[in-house]
């Protein structure tokens, strides 16, 4: 008892525990009880688990060994402590004993009551078993009875079933016998659907029993009525006044009556054709030759709703009705759709062609969008007919035509703009007041070209807007953007602009009358501006607006720029030629019309020379408005004086001097040839650069060369020579400032004077000082 008390004082200890003496077995029992009471093993272990459950000296541990414990106590503890622990242990044992007694008492009552309950249950079960036995016997009796009843009712039931079958048959027969009259009634009432249903129900039976004379009669009657029915249906169908759904119904009924599908299908299509053709006719009358036709949007709307809607309906009905026809039927439908669709397209194209002249793209694009969108539905339904592709083609064609229309518009704008400029250039002379300056005109021209370009781009851009149904077609994503808009419209326009400008160079008006020189200058500057900035700007704008996805090669900006530059260069060169010619003509007239042999001693610079200088100054101002100054060779501050002294005193003298003697010409030629060996050859009509100095140099070169050639054709008297000397000095004084290399002017003027001296039988040059005085006075 003491051992048991020492081992298991846990609160979960059941009263059954104490009998067990071996610790292992007791533990096992413990575990089972705990299981029984629903405590988990871990929880159970938790109660006894100390810090070291294997310690044999732990009083509460599972592996407690009394001997080891006692040994330990005896060895470790002093006597007093031993005594203490002994009393302590005795006290504990007592407490445990009393606890156990209380537990036993408390639980005793529960045992008693449990035993009672079990006993009572035993009694109750016995009673229940008896009742169950009784129930089983009763059930057996019931089964027996029921078997007997069903046996007796068996043949009556069979008879009833038979009777019911007969009844149904009789009803069917009655239906059959009544069928002709019913059908007639239905036909009279117009309830064709009902009639066809009846007929359908009876047909198989009649077919089966047609060998019986009575059925045969019914069948014959039915056939007659059915034929009439079919005829009526056909009549209705042919009349065609009824709408499409009713017709579809008719066809459906006829099909149910077993009419040949092929024929029906033909007729159906023929009717549909009639209706659709009517739509087309009404569209055609809309189209008409008269201009106040409804606008294009309305037109395509009506076409879409009337014709395309009708076509869709026909196609849908057809596919529903004649699905059994197979590919042949589908082919027939496709051919039908193709033909009518083709005619519709012809009408639409005619209408769209009328629209080509218009300037408003948005309406057209919307109309095209509707048109295209409408045709997407039947396109899906009638893939074989290819209507959708055709529609796309039409849209593409229209888009192309719009592009060319825009191109023409741009060209026209450019030309009218040129006309305006011409007028503006001509106006100041007439009105005598200050017109707009060249720079302003240039800005006007540039803006009045650029704004139509932008407008065209914007208006063409509508074709590729996202909400437009055809904008995702490959054509509009690729070719339209790159080849159409970029190449065709923009590059095409720039090219044609360059060509138009160049045509001014080639025009027969080489005498300068046809094209005002200022216009040439203006166009040249315009082309140069295009080369430097505008072209790349426009193309960038285009590329941004029309994200070119196409990989096809496009004209690079550099090529266009080169073309524009070439045009600018040609225009400017032509300008130089024209202006040079004007001054040349003046000089030539002045030389050719004068009698140089009998002229008086020069007192003045001739008026022509002053005019030449004035004109050159005017040209200088004109060019200066549009072109930059340019570079000239370095020159001294008082260029005219210095070079004049050289040219008039040393060189000139040395050239004139020998000509007094008879053997002169050889020496003169030798001298001048030696001089020329050291001077560069002058290309008179050479290309010019884009600056003011180069332009002026070109003009002056041309003029002076002409003067030289003209002088060589004349014969001069002494005073004639002196007059030339004076004139040349005057030109020298004023022209050097315009040219890139003043040496050029000196050279040419020297040449003129030298040539005049050679053409003079009595060459006595004027004193340089006198020349200077005359020039300064004039």
Write the CA distances from 761 to 228, 712, 720, 767, integer angstroms. 131, 13, 11, 18
Asked if residue 274 binds other proteins (CB under 8 A), the reply is no
Asked if residue 111 binds other proteins (CB under 8 A), the reply is no
Distance CA 445, CA 6 (A): 122
- Considering the complex, state which of residue 394 and residue 587 has its C-beta at the smaller distance from other proteins: 587
- Considering the complex, state which of residue 301 and residue 709 has its C-beta at the smaller distance from other proteins: 709
Stretch that binds other proteins, among 120-128, 265-273, 333-341, 664-672 (CB under 8 A): 664-672
- Considering the complex, state which of residue 423 and residue 686 has its C-beta at the smaller distance from other proteins: 686
CB of 686 to other proteins, least distance (A): 7
CB of 387 to other proteins, least distance (A): 52
CB of 408 to other proteins, least distance (A): 29
Contact assessment for residue 703 and residue 712, using Cβ atoms and an 8 Å cutoff: no
Stretch that binds other proteins, among 46-54, 142-150, 704-712, 737-745 (CB under 8 A): 704-712
DSSP state letter for 212:
S
DSSP state letter for 60:
T
Stretch that binds other proteins, among 61-69, 177-185, 193-201, 668-676 (CB under 8 A): 668-676
Asked if residue 677 binds other proteins (CB under 8 A), the reply is yes
CB of 569 to other proteins, least distance (A): 16
Stretch that binds other proteins, among 20-28, 159-167, 377-385, 675-683 (CB under 8 A): 675-683
Q: Which residue has the tokens 């796309």?
A: 392
DSSP string spanning 549-563? ---S----HHHHHHH
CA 111 to centroid of chain Cα atoms: 95
Asked if residue 569 binds other proteins (CB under 8 A), the reply is no
- Considering the complex, state which of residue 712 and residue 737 has its C-beta at the smaller distance from other proteins: 712
3-state helix, strand, coil in the chain (%, to 5): 80, 0, 20
Quote the longest CA-to-CA distance of the chain: 182
Asked if residue 699 binds other proteins (CB under 8 A), the reply is no
Distance CA 760, CA 766 (A): 13
Stretch that binds other proteins, among 37-45, 392-400, 705-713, 722-730 (CB under 8 A): 705-713
* Interacting residue with other proteins among 123, 144, 161, 673 (CB under 8 A): 673
Write the CA distances from 12 to 3, 45, 203, integer angstroms. 18, 11, 92
CB of 744 to other proteins, least distance (A): 15
Stretch that binds other proteins, among 391-399, 534-542, 619-627, 671-679 (CB under 8 A): 671-679
- Considering the complex, state which of residue 272 and residue 581 has its C-beta at the smaller distance from other proteins: 581
- Considering the complex, state which of residue 37 and residue 685 has its C-beta at the smaller distance from other proteins: 685
Q: Where are the alpha helices (DSSP H) in 679-762?
A: 692-712, 718-735, 742-758
- Among 496, 498, 505, CA closest to 562: 498
CB of 707 to other proteins, least distance (A): 12
CB of 584 to other proteins, least distance (A): 9
* Interacting residue with other proteins among 499, 653, 686, 769 (CB under 8 A): 686
* Interacting residue with other proteins among 204, 553, 683, 777 (CB under 8 A): 683
CB of 298 to other proteins, least distance (A): 54
Stretch that binds other proteins, among 210-218, 352-360, 410-418, 682-690 (CB under 8 A): 682-690
Per CB under 8 A, contacts with other proteins among 317-376 are none
Asked if residue 681 binds other proteins (CB under 8 A), the reply is yes
- Considering the complex, state which of residue 451 and residue 669 has its C-beta at the smaller distance from other proteins: 669
Per CB under 8 A, contacts with other proteins among 222-241 are none
Contact assessment for residue 337 and residue 378, using Cβ atoms and an 8 Å cutoff: yes
Contact assessment for residue 568 and residue 528, using Cβ atoms and an 8 Å cutoff: yes
* Interaction pattern, residues 288-317, with other proteins; x per rule: CB under 8 A: ------------------------------
CB of 685 to other proteins, least distance (A): 5
Q: How many residues bind other proteins (CB under 8 A)?
A: 19
- Among 481, 644, 611, 462, CA closest to 549: 481
* Interaction pattern, residues 572-591, with other proteins; x per rule: CB under 8 A: ---------x----------
- Considering the complex, state which of residue 126 and residue 681 has its C-beta at the smaller distance from other proteins: 681
CB of 728 to other proteins, least distance (A): 18
- Among 519, 339, 290, CA closest to 426: 519
Q: Where are the alpha helices (DSSP H) in 432-534?
A: 438-461, 474, 492-506, 517-529
* Interacting residue with other proteins among 420, 709, 741, 743 (CB under 8 A): 709
Contact assessment for residue 447 and residue 439, using Cβ atoms and an 8 Å cutoff: no
DSSP string spanning 586-608? HHHHHHHSS-STTPPPP-S--HH
Stretch that binds other proteins, among 91-99, 172-180, 532-540, 669-677 (CB under 8 A): 669-677
Distance CA 309, CA 764 (A): 104
CA 140 to centroid of chain Cα atoms: 90
Contact assessment for residue 312 and residue 378, using Cβ atoms and an 8 Å cutoff: yes
* Interacting residue with other proteins among 712, 737, 768, 778 (CB under 8 A): 712
Stretch that binds other proteins, among 224-232, 308-316, 513-521, 667-675 (CB under 8 A): 667-675
Contact assessment for residue 297 and residue 367, using Cβ atoms and an 8 Å cutoff: yes
Contact assessment for residue 392 and residue 473, using Cβ atoms and an 8 Å cutoff: yes
* Interacting residue with other proteins among 351, 705, 729, 746 (CB under 8 A): 705
Distance CA 537, CA 640 (A): 46
CB of 683 to other proteins, least distance (A): 5
Residues 6+ apart with CB under 8 A from 35: 41
Per CB under 8 A, contacts with other proteins among 541-560 are none
Asked if residue 669 binds other proteins (CB under 8 A), the reply is yes
Contact assessment for residue 381 and residue 315, using Cβ atoms and an 8 Å cutoff: yes
Write the CA distances from 101 to 94, 97, 105, 115, integer angstroms. 11, 6, 6, 22
CB of 577 to other proteins, least distance (A): 9
Asked if residue 144 binds other proteins (CB under 8 A), the reply is no
Per CB under 8 A, contacts with other proteins among 494-533 are 508, 510-511
- Among 448, 451, 449, 458, CA closest to 485: 458
* Interaction pattern, residues 729-768, with other proteins; x per rule: CB under 8 A: --------------------------x-------------
* Interacting residue with other proteins among 684, 689, 743, 778 (CB under 8 A): 684
Distance CA 132, CA 143 (A): 17
Q: Where are the alpha helices (DSSP H) in 361-486?
A: 361-381, 387-431, 438-461, 474
CA dihedral 40, 41, 42, 47 (to 10 degrees): 100
Residues in touch with other proteins (CB under 8 A): 508, 510-511, 581, 665, 669, 672-673, 676-677, 681, 683-686, 705, 709, 712, 755
């Amino acid at each position: 008892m003491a051992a048991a008390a020492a081992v298991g004082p846990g609160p979960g200890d059941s009263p059954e525990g104490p009998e067990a003496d071996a610790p292992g077995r007791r533990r096992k029992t413990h575990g089972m009880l705990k299981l029984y009471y629903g405590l988990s093993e871990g929880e159970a272990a938790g109660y006894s688990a100390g810090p070291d459950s294997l310690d044999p000296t732990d009083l509460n541990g599972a592996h407690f060994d009394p001997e080891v414990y006692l040994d330990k106590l005896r060895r470790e503890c002093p006597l007093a402590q031993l005594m203490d622990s002994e009393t302590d242990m005795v006290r504990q044992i007592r407490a445990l004993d009393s606890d156990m007694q209380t537990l036993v008492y408390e639980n005793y009552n529960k045992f008693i009551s449990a035993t009672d309950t079990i006993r009572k249950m035993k009694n109750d079960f016995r009673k229940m078993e008896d009742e169950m036995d009784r129930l089983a016997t009763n059930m057996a009796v019931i089964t027996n009875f029921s078997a007997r009843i069903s046996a007796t009712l068996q043949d009556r039931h069979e008879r009833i079933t038979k009777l019911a079958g007969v009844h149904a048959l009789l009803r069917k027969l009655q239906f059959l016998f009544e069928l002709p009259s019913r059908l007639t009634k239905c036909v009279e009432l117009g309830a064709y659907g009902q009639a066809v249903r009846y007929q359908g129900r009876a047909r198989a039976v009649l077919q089966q029993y047609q060998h019986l004379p009575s059925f045969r009669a019914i069948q014959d009657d039915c056939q007659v009525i059915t034929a009439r029915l079919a005829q009526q249906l056909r009549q209705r169908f042919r009349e065609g006044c009824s709408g499409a759904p009713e017709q579809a119904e008719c066809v459906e009924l006829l099909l149910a009556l077993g009419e040949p599908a092929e024929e029906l299908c033909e007729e159906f299509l023929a009717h549909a054709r009639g209706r659709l053709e009517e739509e087309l006719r009404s569209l055609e009358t809309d189209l008409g030759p008269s201009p106040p036709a409804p606008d294009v949007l309305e037109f395509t709307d009506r076409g879409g709703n009337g014709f395309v809607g009708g076509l869709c309906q026909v196609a849908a009905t057809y596919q529903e009705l004649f699905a059994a026809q197979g590919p042949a039927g589908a082919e027939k439908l496709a051919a039908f759709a193709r033909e009518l669709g083709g005619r519709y397209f012809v009408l639409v194209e005619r209408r769209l062609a009328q629209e080509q002249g218009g300037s408003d793209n948005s309406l057209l694009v919307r109309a095209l969008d509707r048109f295209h969108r409408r045709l997407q539905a039947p396109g899906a339904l009638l893939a074989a007919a290819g209507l959708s592709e055709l529609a796309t083609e039409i849209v593409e064609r229209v888009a192309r035509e719009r592009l060319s229309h825009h191109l023409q518009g741009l060209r026209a704008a450019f030309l009218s703009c040129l006309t305006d400029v011409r007028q503006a250039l001509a106006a100041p002379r007439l009105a005598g007041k200050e017109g707009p300056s060249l720079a302003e005109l240039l800005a006007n021209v540039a803006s009045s070209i650029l704004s139509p370009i932008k407008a065209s781009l914007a208006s063409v851009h509508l074709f590729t807007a996202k909400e437009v149904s055809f904008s995702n077609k490959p054509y509009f994503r690729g070719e339209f953007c790159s080849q159409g808009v970029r190449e065709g419209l923009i590059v095409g326009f720039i090219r044609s602009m360059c060509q138009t400008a160049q045509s001014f160079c080639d025009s027969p008006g080489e005498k300068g009358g046809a094209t005002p020189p200022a216009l040439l200058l203006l166009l040249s500057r315009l082309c140069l501006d295009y080369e430097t900035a505008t072209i790349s700007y426009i193309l960038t704008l285009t590329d941004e607006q029309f994200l070119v996805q196409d990989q096809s090669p496009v004209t690079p900006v550099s090529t266009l720029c080169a073309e524009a530059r070439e045009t600018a260069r040609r225009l400017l060169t032509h300008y130089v030629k024209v202006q040079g010619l004007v001054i040349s003509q003046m000089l030539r007239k002045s030389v050719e019309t004068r009698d140089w042999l009998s002229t008086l001693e020069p007192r003045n610079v001739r008026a022509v020379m002053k005019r030449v200088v004035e004109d050159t100054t005017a040209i200088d101002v004109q060019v200066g408005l549009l072109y930059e100054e340019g570079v000239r060779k370095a020159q001294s501050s008082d260029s005219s004086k210095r070079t004049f002294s050289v040219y008039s005193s040393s060189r000139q003298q040395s050239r004139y001097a020998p000509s007094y003697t008879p053997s002169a010409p050889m020496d003169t030629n030798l001298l001048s040839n030696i001089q020329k060996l050291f001077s560069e050859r002058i290309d008179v009509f050479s290309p010019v650069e884009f600056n003011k100095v180069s332009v002026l140099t070109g003009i002056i070169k041309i003029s002076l060369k002409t003067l030289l050639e003209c002088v060589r054709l004349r014969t001069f008297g002494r005073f004639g020579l002196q007059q030339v000397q004076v004139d040349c000095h005057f030109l020298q004084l004023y022209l050097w400032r315009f040219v890139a290399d003043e040496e050029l002017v000196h050279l040419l003027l020297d040449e003129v004077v030298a040539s005049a001296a050679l053409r003079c039988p009595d060459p006595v040059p004027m004193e340089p000082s006198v020349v200077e005085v005359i020039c300064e006075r004039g």
